Every structure is written in structure tokens, then in C-alpha cells.
């Protein structure tokens, strides 16, 4: 799946979930642009690997399990607003909400639907795909995440 399709898919899920608190409707193109800002690096490239790496590298068992769920096949585990703030930081969530002209609460609600879906679709075989020429597989796919989870619990995978 190409970057544009990936972002549009996430934007549509976000829009479907969003109870907008601004006049009028937010276009999916606006949401896709805001998602790119949230998920991108300083060079303006989609950078899902650093998001997964931060989830994997922290001390949170919950975030590691989320990463494994989103990368793996099957259902995606749900993410809470607090977990999204741990992953992205409050400042990035606030900037995302401001870009769309919505409240942070509304932004988090929509992102709870969009983020797992975007990462899941970017990893159809259990590892992050090559999107737009940028290899995003630095975390070792689902096996890398599961290995980290196993280490956390003192188990071999």
C-alpha cells in the first residue's frame, strides 16, 4: 500500500469516529495531511519505524504489546488516549488537534481508530513495508517486537 492510500485510509477512519467540534466538516485530505505531520519525521517522510521503536524501547509492557498487536496478523489491540500521549507526546497531539481546529479530546478519539489501522496496513506481512522508498523495517517486524516482549517477561521467543 502506498503512503497516500495508507494516510487516506487512516483519515477516513478518523473522520468516521470524529465528533467534530468545529463548524462544518473536516475533509479527509486535511486529516491525511495532519496524520502525515504526526507520523512523519523532520524530513517530512512517513516514519512509522521510529514510532514502533519508541513503543518497543520504553519500559511500558502495554506499549510493547500494542506494537506487537498492530504489526501482527489478527485483531488490533485498542489504544487509549493516555497511551497515544505516551507514544507521541502531548505537544504533537496538541499540534495535530490545532492543525485540524478540533479539541485534543476529539483528536485523541479519532486517533484511537486511525493509528492502529495505519500501522496494521503498513505491516501486512508482520513487518513495516517499504513506503515511498523509505525502508521502515528497522524494528525487525513482529518477531522483533515479540522478542522484546519476551525479554520483558523473561521468556525466550
Identify the CATH number of the domain in which residue 135 sits: 1.10.10.690
What single-letter DSSP state applies at residue 42?
Answer: T
DSSP 64-86: HHHHHHHHSSSPPPP--HHHHHH
What is the pLDDT at residue 98?
95
Q: Could you tell me which of 35, 33, 14, 47 has the C-alpha nearest to residue 92?
A: 35
What is the pLDDT at residue 139?
38
What is the pLDDT at residue 4?
85
Classified as helix, coil or strand, 41 is coil
What is the pLDDT at residue 67?
87
C-alpha gyration radius of the chain = 15
What is the pLDDT at residue 74?
83
Beta partners for residue 135, in sequence order: 130
What is the pLDDT at residue 135?
34
What is the pLDDT at residue 149?
45
Yes or no: say if 138 and 23 are a contact pair by the CB < 8 Å rule. no
Number of domains in the chain: 1
C-alpha cell at 131: 513506503
157 in any annotated domain = no
Domain hosting 123: range is 3-152
Q: How far apart are CA 76 and CA 99, in angstroms?
A: 27
What is the pLDDT at residue 127?
64
pLDDT tens track of the chain, all 157 residues? 678 888 899 999 898 887 544 445 788 899 999 999 999 877 777 788 888 888 877 667 888 889 888 888 888 999 999 999 999 999 999 999 999 999 999 999 999 999 999 998 888 766 665 444 333 333 344 444 445 444 444 444 4
Amino acid at each position: 500500500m502506498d503512503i497516500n492510500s495508507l494516510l487516506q485510509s487512516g483519515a477516513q477512519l478518523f473522520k468516521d469516529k470524529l465528533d467534530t467540534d468545529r463548524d462544518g466538516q473536516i475533509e479527509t485530505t486535511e486529516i491525511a495531511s495532519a496524520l502525515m505531520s504526526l507520523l512523519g519525521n523532520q524530513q517530512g517522510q512517513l516514519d512509522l519505524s521510529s514510532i514502533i521503536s519508541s513503543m518497543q524501547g520504553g519500559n511500558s509492557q502495554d506499549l510493547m504489546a500494542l506494537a506487537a498487536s498492530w504489526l501482527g496478523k489478527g485483531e488490533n489491540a485498542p489504544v487509549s488516549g493516555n497511551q497515544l500521549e505516551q507514544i507521541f507526546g502531548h505537544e504533537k497531539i496538541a499540534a495535530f488537534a490545532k492543525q485540524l481546529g478540533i479539541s485534543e479530546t476529539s483528536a485523541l478519539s479519532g486517533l484511537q481508530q486511525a493509528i492502529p489501522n495505519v500501522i496494521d496496513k503498513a505491516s501486512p506481512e508482520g513487518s513495516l513495508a517499504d513506503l515511498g522508498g523509505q525502508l521502515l523495517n528497522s524494528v525487525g517486524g513482529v518477531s522483533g517486537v515479540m522478542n522484546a516482549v519476551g525479554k520483558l517477561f523473561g521468556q525466550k521467543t
